[in-house]
Structure 1
Amino acid sequence: MTDSNNLSKLNTSNPFNLKKAASIYLKRWFWFVLSVLICLALAFTKLRYTAPSYLATAKIMLLSDTDSSSPDAIFKDLPFFAEKEDAKVEDEIEVIMSRDFFQSVAKELQLNIQHFSKGRIYDSEIYRSSPLTINFIASDSIINQLDFTFHTRIISEKAFEYWLHEEETPKTIAFGEKIPTAFGGMIITPSSNNIKNSLGTDTRTQISSISSVAESLKRRVTIFQEVKGSKIITISIQDPIVQKAKDIVNTLIAKYNEAALKQKNIKSINTSKFIDNRVELIAKDLLGVDDSIVRFKTGNKVTDVASEAGQFLTTSMANEQELETSRMQLRQLNYMDSALGEANSYTPIPSNLGLGDPTIVTLSSRYNELISERDRLLKSAGEKNSVVIQIDQSLRSIKDNLNRSIQNSKKSLGIQINSLENQSSKLNSKIFSVPGQESKLRGIERKQGIKEQLYLYLLQKREEAAISLTATSPSSKVIDQAYSTGSPVSPNKRMYYIGALFLGFLIPFGIIYIGDLLDTKIHNKEDLEKEIKNMTVLGEIPRIKLGLKGTEKLLVEKNDRSILSESFRIVRTNFDYVRRGRTVETYDNVVFVTSTINGEGKSFFSLNTALTMANTNKRVLLIGADIRNPQIEAVLKHAIKTPVDTVGLTEFIVDKSILVGETINSYTVNDIKLDILLSGKVPPNPAELLMSGRLKDLFDYVSNQYDMVIVDTAPAMLVTDTLLISQYAGHTIYLTRADYTEKQVLNFAKELHADKKLNGMMLVVNDVSQSNFGYGAKYGYYGTPEKKSLFKRIFK
């Protein structure tokens, strides 16, 4: 393991250091003191101009409707029943805290109309002693929903000034004169005969809605149970006016008792009224049930459902028999009709079917006789026989008459059958409806019985209610009327100052803590070591405040003992120590200075490092290799107050006729001799130019001629210039800037080191605030004058 690795052991992470964490806040003690002073001043101002509030408290005991002789009284000491009592007390507390009670209190005390006497700091309320009385023309329902403010000033015993807004010109109005308003107008009169004491006093009158006043009272009133299991509750409120607070509490208790008495009386009266109403309703229901029985029997034409059901069954059976007989006769006629056959065919037909029509029976018998006679004649004579012909004519005549009789009988039977079927349907429907009718009638009769029992029961209870309607007792007993100690309870000065002190510390602490959480930049060497643990940090360069001399203070001087010079000496010493621990074959005396992005102070560091090393009587060369944005020329020109040679690195690379010695010039900066090879003119192709082979000749020459070569290069992340010439560096100092370099950007430096793209990388933190500056933050440098603290300078 090399010496550089031994030095990097300091980069290992340390556990949480309370003292160091506290130092972040302690070094900003001034902001804590300022914040505390401001908060205390605000608390003092708040207390100075806040009206004090007084506490009014009253105690009442809730009374139960049951006394000690109640059967439940013997169990009241058991836990279960005690919990019930607590629940009842909590319920009563919720009842007292209802919005209706507070609205009643606001209306009773007219809290929706407030008068304020104008003061220099704040307006004080006038309670019960207002010099003015307001009479509204509109109804109370409108006034109770009103939000209105106006100002008055009594100018004489007969008139006053009136205006609505602060910037409005007052109007002179006589007492008793109607004042037109958006809600119907109002009349203002003096509240007493002697108003001379109120002349010239500005009064602001504020009319608020009852609902908003009730809501405000509900938020301010506190009600709690004195002891668990006790029926004693405490009611309190804070208000700037003691008498007003007392009136609110006492009125709230009175309203609660009034509501309880009213509720009990209402319960008794309503119970009696309810029973009377129910008796009347039940009596009407009884009459209605009786009427429903009458209507049911009349509508269904029944007197006795059971007896009439038997009659319906008997009639239905007789009707069915007659219907079946008619259907049988119809079938016989159909058969006879089919048996007659065609007009010229003669076949016997049945004549003994028992039909009810005698004409059909006679014609059918005569028809059959003629057919028999015709058949007999045909055996001895032919169809042309005159007798046969005469018989055929008679048969045709009888057949026609028989057909007409059959058709007429069929029609008659059809009508009869339809009538019987309709009658059968009616009888069947009546028979089917009998069970329902019987069920309905039984239900009506059952309802009649219930109504009769309920009617008798209510008559009994009406008498009991008339007997039990006695005087009611209040629901609470006042133990202590509202009282006040007379000492203000708000604002609490001690709590205000403690809160201000706490807030005074909390505000800067929170701002610093959040700022530290959101901080993404490095601030000193320790922050850099936490982010990059495997590279050596050579040191810190302090932040320099420019004086009247300007840039001269940015460069180290010969025999300089400033903090700037000492910090560069520390970097030089640490670099020498790391350099001796590394083995570099070529360009061991060539040091590249680069950074991640521009603005991190490479040129400043390179020039001061070169001056510091030259101050040890070594031959040191400073090369401006940042040919894109050269900065050394401007600093050098301002420091030595003379023109500088513009022939530099760019001209050497482009013009092969120029020798190395022709581009290097010696300068005396702050009495320190230093050789510098400037960047030269800015070329159009810097990356391609730096790939020239002449650079190797340059570095081979200067590394042999000089003890130390410091090379100021371009930012490594923005352009490739530094990486293109990195093979000529024996060591690389990678510069970061406090309060400027992002921690995220340092990942690029880690990648360069891991990939070994830059040789011998070492870190330096530039522009570190002296409050964050290493060991010098507290102790300073050896030999420098001691900085006295503010307290030491004040109490010297």
Structure 2
Amino acid sequence: MSATPPAQKPLHNLKEDDSIDLREILETIWGLRLWIVLSVILCVGIAYTYVKYTTPVYESTAGLLLVNDGARGGSTGSDMYFISELTGHSMRYKMSNELYMLQTISLLQQVVEDLNLNVQYFKKTRLKQQELYRNCPIAFQWENPVPVAWEGMKPLEITLKVKPGSDHFEINNMLVGGEQVYVKNKAVQFGEVISTPAGLFSITNLYSPTEDTGSTLFTIKVSSPRSFANKIKRNLTARQISDGRTNATTMANMSDIIVLTLQDEIKERAVRILHSLIQNYIQDNKEFSAQSIEKSIVFINDRLSQIERDLGIIETDYSSYRSVRRIVREDSQSQIAITSDARYRDELTELEIQMKLLGMIKEFLAGQNDTHEMIPTNLGIKDVGLTSGIERYNTLIVERNRLLAGSSLTNPRVVNANLQLDNMKDGIHVSIKNVENTHTLRLDALREQISKGEKEISTIPSQQLELARITRRQEIIEPLYRLLQQKKEENMIALYALPDNARITEEPVSKSSPIKPNKRNIYLASLLLGLILPPGIFYTTEALRRKVIGKQDVARRTNIPIFAVIPKSTKSDFLIDITSKDALTEGFRMLRSSLQFSPGKIIYVTSSLSGEGKTFIASNLAISLAATGKRTLLAGVDLRKQRLSELFGITKRKGIVNYLIGETNDVKNIIIPFGLNTNLDIMPSGPIPPNPSELLASHKFPEIIAYAKDHYDFVVMDTAPCFLASDTFNIAQYADTTLYVIRSKMTDIRILPQIQEFYDKGQLNSMSLVINAFDFRRNPYGYGSSSKLGYGSGYGYGYGYGYGYGYGYGYGEETGKKKKFKT
């Protein structure tokens, strides 16, 4: 009669403990203390080596102030300047354009060529190459013919050996474009021209050490200026200084100060680069700004040459007319008549000059077609609006040309500037037309007044009248000539007095301490890494672990009672010595004590898979129970394997199978006394049958159970694994207590939910767990999860198991040595 299974907790009430156990974490860290110390020493040592042998990088800074001289060209320009300053959108100095110009490759390439930065010298030291700047005893120099164009130049690398006091050097290696080049004469005199696919060059000796320190290896690296300029650009930043106020819609809170920052391995080189960059930026800006004045001077010179020719013709006509007609002086009455309308004629002359100047500008604009060139300014046009528009047009052309020098026509900034220039040119055309219309109306009025005066002059003798006409022609052209001469001088003065668009507010200077590598941060990071690396590795390993280690792994995932934790055996003996006091024997004593509180006599011992130690647990539990004087029967109910029979050397004796198939009708005939203890008997399984499940389900198996209950105090049955066969479930109703064996470092954590399901559904009566082969040396408390670092390895029982079924019935072949006991 089977015992009633106890009330069991349903699976849905099982909750894994997700709370953080601070004590467990601290114990884990304490258990890893030696690894943490070693990790810290290793990480700090690596950090020290990195800091010691990494080339330091220094930061250099310089300040630049953009000088805005306001707008020129009258009240209209002043109004536009005021509006631009108020809104923050300056037409003269667009800060974004200036920041871009300071970092253009063309400007940086000019710096590289000025300072010869694309030729680098390195000295071989014990562990690394040390770059030499302006203190190298040798110098590289290109010879004629000049090598290929800078843009397509292949990088050149030369490794040479120099001996102090020698007049020659030895070339160890030469690479052109990454490919090795054979050099016929490796020993080369200083100053001798060397021919390579990259070009002709020579190497000179600048000075020689007085002491003989042995040969020194030098490496010379020559790259194109553009590639080195790209390297500088990656380490160069330009930013605008703010005055600290915030404005969401305008840039009025931004100052005109730019801070340049450059990172470089050599402080002196960084300072020289920044200084040269600023000087080249100011000079380039000045040259672009001078283009407008120079174009005006060329235009004025051309017009002066033409006017000089016209004046020469008029003066020649005047002189010839007087000499031919022998005229000595003009009559005073004629002079009075001619000059009576002088006021009108002066105004007429001024307007005609303005019309001629407008015609010059129209002619110049017509010759541009779709291009944009600077319009001559400072010609004497008196219309303020037109003059201001021309100046703004020229200023935008200067900015456009500066952008174009460092980019292409497809650059968005250049495209935007071209659109603005088109609009401004159209505006200039409209302004010229309006001014011409105004001047035409006034000219018509003046001509009408002059026409009335000419009627009065008609009575003047023809000779005097002709001289007056020649004189009037001269008077018209001479003011224009004098005006152009004056404007030429003004432009010349403006050209030489052209101010710089920027000035240095802070001279380039480098910080005394390097910014890379950051020693403090590296050491702190290495210390932190050393502290967290061992726990990190350990907890990562724990998170990826798939095997049960100890009691805590099971308790977290199931609510099945754990009867005992059996230590890992350190001996080859399969069975315990009950008189011993070792940990293994004490473990079975603990298991025996736990069973005292369980009802009934029939104890099943099963597991999930073969090899988890159920036969080992069943055998030694029976020995432990028999040692208390209780009559104990050890039965091998796993009919698919003869593991129990092999252990005790009784494989040829009759057993349970023989009784179930009717070969014997007396249960006594299949019981064998254990020779070492009179209280222990063994019931082997017998031969392996082809139908073990059917035999166990027959009516004769309950007879064995009934006999065992009548004649023994405890009956320990070694049953089949639950995951490999259904035999144990078929006879589960006869068990009073079921011990389910889980083996440390063998049972997969992922099968624990299935074991919990067996418990929740009551498929195994009074089910309890036994953790087998736990390494107490690693964890003396038997919890065996993340509280200790190691878990040991191997099994201590001298036996092994295979997996799968042999011939459709057994679990496979067994290997390993077994110690047999006589019965």
- TM-score w.r.t. the length of structure 2 is 0.62
Q: What is the aligned partner in structure 2 of residue 504 from structure 1? A: 530
Quote the Cα distance in structure 2 between the aligned partners of 1:232 and 1:190: 44
Structure 1 gap ranges (5+): 288-445, 581-587, 638-642, 779-796
1:556 positional shift: 3.8
Deviates more, 1:703-712 or 1:606-615: 606-615
Out of 514, 531, 541, the residue aligned to residue 515 of structure 1 is 541
Q: What is the aligned partner in structure 1 of residue 726 from structure 2? A: 720
Quote the Cα distance in structure 1 between the aligned partners of 2:167 and 2:88: 65
Paired residue type of 2:131: E
Q: Are 1:690 and 2:696 matched, yes or no?
A: yes
Residue deviations 1:536-563 (CA, integer Å, cap 9, x gap): 232333444x3xxx323x6543254444
Q: Are 1:572 and 2:592 matched, yes or no?
A: yes
Quote the Cα distance in structure 2 between the aligned partners of 1:48 and 1:649: 78
Q: Which secondary structure does the structure 2 equivalent of 1:734 belong to?
A: strand
Q: What is the aligned partner in structure 1 of residue 170 from structure 2? A: 161
Quote the Cα distance in structure 1 between the aligned partners of 2:151 and 2:280: 22
**Cα 1:691/1:125, change in 2 over 3 Å:** same
**Cα 1:520/1:777, change in 2 over 3 Å:** closer
Q: What is the aligned partner in structure 2 of residue 475 from structure 1? A: 501
1:634 positional shift: 5.1
Q: What is the aligned partner in structure 1 of residue 552 from structure 2? A: 526
Q: Are 1:175 and 2:255 matched, yes or no?
A: no
**Cα 1:677/1:178, change in 2 over 3 Å:** farther
1:730 positional shift: 2.0
Quote the Cα distance in structure 1 between the aligned partners of 2:595 and 2:640: 28
**Cα 1:661/1:193, change in 2 over 3 Å:** closer
Q: Is the 8 A contact 1:540 1:773 kept in 2?
A: no
Q: Is the 8 A contact 1:7 1:536 kept in 2?
A: no
Q: What is the aligned partner in structure 1 of residue 57 from structure 2? A: 53
Q: Are 1:495 and 2:488 matched, yes or no?
A: no
**Cα 1:118/1:764, change in 2 over 3 Å:** same
- What does 1:154-303 correspond to in 2, within 5 Å? 154-155=162-163, 157-164=166-173, 171-192=186-207, 200-225=215-240, 228=243, 229-269=254-294, 282-283=362-363
Paired residue type of 1:242: K
Residue deviations 1:332-367 (CA, integer Å, cap 9, x gap): xxxxxxxxxxxxxxxxxxxxxxxxxxxxxxxxxxxx
Paired residue type of 1:35: S
Quote the Cα distance in structure 1 between the aligned partners of 2:364 and 2:33: 92
Paired residue type of 1:97: Q
Q: What is the aligned partner in structure 2 of residue 376 from structure 1? A: none
- What does 1:407-426 correspond to in 2, within 5 Å? none
Residue deviations 1:509-564 (CA, integer Å, cap 9, x gap): 4434443444444433333233333x3232333444x3xxx323x65432544443
Q: Which secondary structure does the structure 2 equivalent of 1:259 belong to?
A: helix
1:712 positional shift: 1.4
Q: What is the aligned partner in structure 2 of residue 317 from structure 1? A: none
- What does 1:259-658 correspond to in 2, within 5 Å? 259-269=284-294, 282-283=362-363, 453=436, 467=490, 469-470=494-495, 471-484=497-510, 486-533=512-559, 535-544=560-569, 546=570, 550-552=571-573, 555-577=575-597, 579-580=598-599, 588-633=600-645, 635-636=647-648, 646-654=653-661, 656-657=663-664
Quote the Cα distance in structure 1 between the aligned partners of 2:93 and 2:642: 87
Q: What is the aligned partner in structure 2 of residue 118 from structure 1? A: 124
Q: Which secondary structure does the structure 2 equivalent of 1:164 belong to?
A: strand
Paired residue type of 1:158: D
Q: Is the 8 A contact 2:618 2:716 kept in 1?
A: yes
1:121 positional shift: 0.7
Quote the Cα distance in structure 2 between the aligned partners of 1:223 and 1:254: 15
Paired residue type of 1:616: T
Q: What is the aligned partner in structure 2 of residue 678 from structure 1? A: 684
Q: Is the 8 A contact 2:563 2:594 kept in 1?
A: yes
Paired residue type of 1:251: S
Of Structure 1 and Structure 2, the greater helix share is in 1
Q: What is the aligned partner in structure 1 of residue 157 from structure 2? A: 149
Quote the Cα distance in structure 2 between the aligned partners of 1:454 and 1:571: 120
Quote the Cα distance in structure 2 between the aligned partners of 1:767 and 1:86: 86
Quote the Cα distance in structure 2 between the aligned partners of 1:206 and 1:728: 90
Q: Is the 8 A contact 1:770 1:777 kept in 2?
A: no
Residue deviations 1:418-468 (CA, integer Å, cap 9, x gap): xxxxxxxxxxxxxxxxxxxxxxxxxxxx99x959949999x9999989856
Paired residue type of 2:22: K
Deviates more, 1:496-505 or 1:739-748: 739-748
The CA RMSD measured in Å over matched residues stands at: 4.6
Corresponding residue pairs, total: 597
**Cα 1:158/1:632, change in 2 over 3 Å:** same
1:225 positional shift: 4.4
1:162 positional shift: 0.7
- What does 1:28-47 correspond to in 2, within 5 Å? 28-47=32-51
Q: What is the aligned partner in structure 2 of residue 372 from structure 1? A: none
Quote the Cα distance in structure 1 between the aligned partners of 2:513 and 2:593: 73
Quote the Cα distance in structure 2 between the aligned partners of 1:516 and 1:201: 55
Quote the Cα distance in structure 1 between the aligned partners of 2:488 and 2:632: 121
Quote the Cα distance in structure 1 between the aligned partners of 2:635 and 2:685: 7
Structure 2 gap ranges (5+): 244-253, 304-357, 368-428, 441-479, 785-823
Residue deviations 1:276-333 (CA, integer Å, cap 9, x gap): 999678439999xxxxxxxxxxxxxxxxxxxxxxxxxxxxxxxxxxxxxxxxxxxxxx
Quote the Cα distance in structure 2 between the aligned partners of 1:115 and 1:86: 43
Paired residue type of 2:551: K
Quote the Cα distance in structure 1 between the aligned partners of 2:484 and 2:592: 113
1:116 positional shift: 0.7
Deviates more, 1:182-191 or 1:713-722: 182-191
**Cα 1:589/1:484, change in 2 over 3 Å:** same
Quote the Cα distance in structure 1 between the aligned partners of 2:158 and 2:703: 96
| Paired-residue identity, % | 27
Paired residue type of 2:498: T
Q: Which secondary structure does the structure 2 equivalent of 1:679 belong to?
A: coil
1:13 positional shift: 5.1
Out of 21, 24, 31, the residue aligned to residue 18 of structure 1 is 21
Q: Is the 8 A contact 2:57 2:265 kept in 1?
A: yes
Q: Is the 8 A contact 2:170 2:188 kept in 1?
A: yes
Residue deviations 1:650-700 (CA, integer Å, cap 9, x gap): 44434522743343333367x896433233443344334433443222222
Q: What is the aligned partner in structure 1 of residue 414 from structure 2? A: none
Q: Are 1:667 and 2:674 matched, yes or no?
A: yes
- TM-score w.r.t. the length of structure 1 is 0.64
Quote the Cα distance in structure 1 between the aligned partners of 2:116 and 2:364: 50
**Cα 1:520/1:157, change in 2 over 3 Å:** closer
Q: Is the 8 A contact 1:621 1:674 kept in 2?
A: yes
Q: Is the 8 A contact 2:118 2:224 kept in 1?
A: yes
**Cα 1:60/1:542, change in 2 over 3 Å:** farther
Q: Is the 8 A contact 1:736 1:764 kept in 2?
A: yes
